[in-house]
Structures are given as structure tokens and as C-alpha cells.
Amino acid sequence: MYRSGAVMAWNVFKFCAALRGLGSIMILVVLGVVGVTYYAVVVCNYAPALVDGDLDSLIAVAVLILFHSLLVMLLWSYFSVVFTDPGSVPPNWRPELDEERGDTDPLTESEFGTASSDPVNLRVRYCRKCNQFKPPRCHHCSVCGRCVLKMDHHCVWVVNCVGALNYKYFLLFLFYTFLETSLATLALLPHFVAFFSDGEIAGTPGNLATTFLAFVLNLAFALSVLGFLIMHISLVAANTTTIEAYEKKTTPKWRYDLGRKRNLEQVFGLDRRYWFIPTYSEEDVRRMPALQGLEYPSKPDFDAQEF
């Protein structure tokens, strides 16, 4: 799905063109799901419950506060992924050729643009489509038509590549989407169950249909996002990207694996106050090369660094 073989090239080209064509429609789909959910949870069910009095009102206040807070974080993360450049290779970027032998990138085998018998040049990764050198962990995206730093995957939901500079925002988007869709599912559950009970149910047919639709959508999203979230947490814990996880199977020792805690910091930053919001502290951006996407600390040289 992510990499094209020669035989598949034409099909993949069609696939990529289709993805490009889909473009911003996906943003409307996301906003549509958010809109339906908002209407079902807030307008149809919990805002009216505010005037019920007693426990119902208290529950409604709690649900509404939590729902709106998560919605703000979800949309903030979402538009951060959509509008943040995942990272492109600076023009005239050249690899340093005097690196030690230990720095060989294990992914180079499939990526030699300039195959040579010279052992120094063997480490050079080159993109023939962009006609430029590739920094470590950089991959060419056929949908974007350019090289993306520490590319993870091209995400249709955010109409953007997920790479070095917006991966954290993508993870937070997954995280808040999971929380928000779970909350919506639980909040709508009693109203959904009411459909199948024998008694009279209150509400207009429109409200009932929206509630039904929103419940099914949110349950489906909560379950599928949970799977994605678990996969990405294990990727972050091992300091790999989705692409690298596919290619890494032949590499027993992963050079970027710095231990779970440090792997996490390489994506979320050192400043914990910024872990749950889609941005980094200025200091982190300055002191952490991984957040600029061109160099990554690896096992042998990590201990030599200050942090």
C-alpha cells in the first residue's frame, strides 16, 4: 500500500491520482461526522437535558463540558496535522560523507540511487524522482510527489503526509478522536437503547435518526481508531515509522531505538507541559534535532549527547 513495486506501478499511479483527487473532500467528511455527532449529542440530547433538573442536569453539564473540551483538542490537533508541512528536504541538502561506519542506514539497500562499489557512496540515499539526496529516514511519497522527512504514511483523512514535523499532531488527533468518539458512544448509548425498548420515545423523527446515525458512526470510529492508536503507540515506543516497520523486518537491531522513554521524547518533546497539545516548546525545537527531521540520534552516539 505504501510502496510501489515495478509491476504495480501503473495501478499505484492510478491509486495515488485517486487519492489526490479525493483531496479536501475528506476534510468535509471529517467535519460532517463532527457535525452529526455534535447535533446528536449536544442539540438533540444533552442541551435539552440541562433543564430536566436533578441528576440528569448534572450529568448533562459534565457530558457537555467534556464533549466541548475534547472537541477543541480534536479540531486543534486535526488542523495542525492538515496544515503543518510534514517536512521537506532543504534544497541542496547533502549527506555528510565522513560519518562513521556504524551510521549506515539499514534501509539503504532498497534505495540506492547511485549504486557504486565505493563503500562511502553506498550509504548515500538518493531520490531519482526528486533528483536530490535523501536524509536519513526520509521517503518519497507518490501521492505528494515529493520526498517527506521521516515519512510515516500518507493519510487521506488529513489530506497530507504524516512525517517528522506533524507526527506528534497526528498521534494527538488519534488520541482525542478516540476519547471523543468513545464519549459520544457512551453518551448516546442510553438513547440508542431506547429505540429498541417498547415504551414511547420522545423526540422528532429527525432527532431520532441523527442520534441513531451518530451512535453507529462514533462506535465504528472509536473501535477503528483504537486499533490505529495501539499500533502507533507500539511504533513510537520502538522509535519506528509505519514504513520502517514494514522494511525493518530484516534488521534485527534498530539503530534509532533509544529505549522506550527516550523514544517517546523523540516524538513528543522533552517538555511535558507540551505532551498533550499539538505544538512544541521553542527550546525543544532548538535542542532536539529529531524535531527538525534531518538528523536523528541513534544508539551509538546518543550517550555522547547532553540530554
Catalytic residues, by residue number, are 155
Q: How many beta carbons lie within 10 A of that of residue 10, not counting itself?
A: 10
**DSSP per residue over 225-287, as a string?**
HHHHHHHHHHHHHTT--HHHHHHGGG-SS-TT---HHHHHHHHH-S-GGGTTSSS--HHHHHH
* Least distance between Zn ion and beta carbon 146 (Å): 6
**Is residue 123 close enough to count as binding Zn ion by CB under 5 A?**
no
Position among 147, 155, 208, 243 found at the interface with Zn ion (CB under 5 A): 147
Q: How far apart are CA 288 and CA 224, in angstroms?
A: 32
Q: Is 143 in the site for Zn ion (CB under 5 A)?
A: yes
**Residue number, 74 or 141, with CB nearest to Zn ion:** 141
Question: Closer to Zn ion at the Cβ: 60 or 143?
Answer: 143
> Does residue 154 interact with Zn ion by CB under 5 A?
yes
Using rule CB under 5 A, residue 130 touches Zn ion? yes
Please provide the size of the chain in residues.
307
Which range touches Zn ion (CB under 5 A), out of 74-82, 109-117, 155-163, 249-257? 155-163
CB of 153 to Zn ion, least distance (A): 8
Hey, what's the cell of 234?
Answer: 507500539
Indicate the residue among 33 and 144 with the shorter CB distance to Zn ion: 144
Q: Which listed residue (63, 70, 141, 165) binds Zn ion by CB under 5 A?
A: 141
The full DSSP string for 36-60 is HHHIIIIIIIIHHHTTS-HHHHHHH
Whether 60 contacts 50, CB under 8 Å: yes
Footprint (CB under 5 A) of Zn ion, residues 44-83? none
13/276 with CB nearer Zn ion: 13
Q: Give Cβ neighbours of residue 45 (< 8 Å, ≥ 6 apart).
A: 187, 188, 191, 211
The b-or-e profile of 90-128 (16+ CB within 10 A means b, else e) is: eeeeebeeeeeeeeebebeeebeeeeeeeeeeebbbbbe
Choices 17-25, 119-127, 224-232, 256-264; region in contact with Zn ion by CB under 5 A: 119-127
Q: What residues from 248 to 307 belong to the interface with Zn ion (CB under 5 A)?
A: none
Instruction: Compute the least distance from the CB of residue 9 to Zn ion, in Å.
Output: 15
Which residues in the chain belong to E strands, given as ranges?
126-127, 132-133, 139-141, 146-148, 153-155, 160-162
Nearer to Zn ion, 127 or 179 (CB): 127
Alpha-carbon gap, residue 95 to 123, rounded angstroms = 9
3-class SS shares of the chain: helix, strand, coil, % to 5:
55, 5, 40
Shortest Cβ 162–Zn ion spacing (Å)? 8
Sole binder of Zn ion in the list 123, 125, 137, 140 (CB under 5 A): 140
Nearer to Zn ion, 135 or 278 (CB): 135
- Should residue 139 be labelled a site residue for Zn ion when binding is judged by CB under 5 A? no
Whole-number minimum distance, CB 36 to Zn ion, in Å? 28
166 vs 170: CA distance, rounded Å = 6
Q: How many residues bind Zn ion (CB under 5 A)?
A: 10
Residues 161-220 that bind Zn ion (CB under 5 A): 161
Using rule CB under 5 A, residue 129 touches Zn ion: yes
Provide the strand spans (E) within 170-231. none
Our finding on whether 127 is near Zn ion (CB under 5 A) is yes
Q: Which residues lie near Zn ion (CB under 5 A)?
A: 127, 129-130, 140-141, 143-144, 147, 154, 161
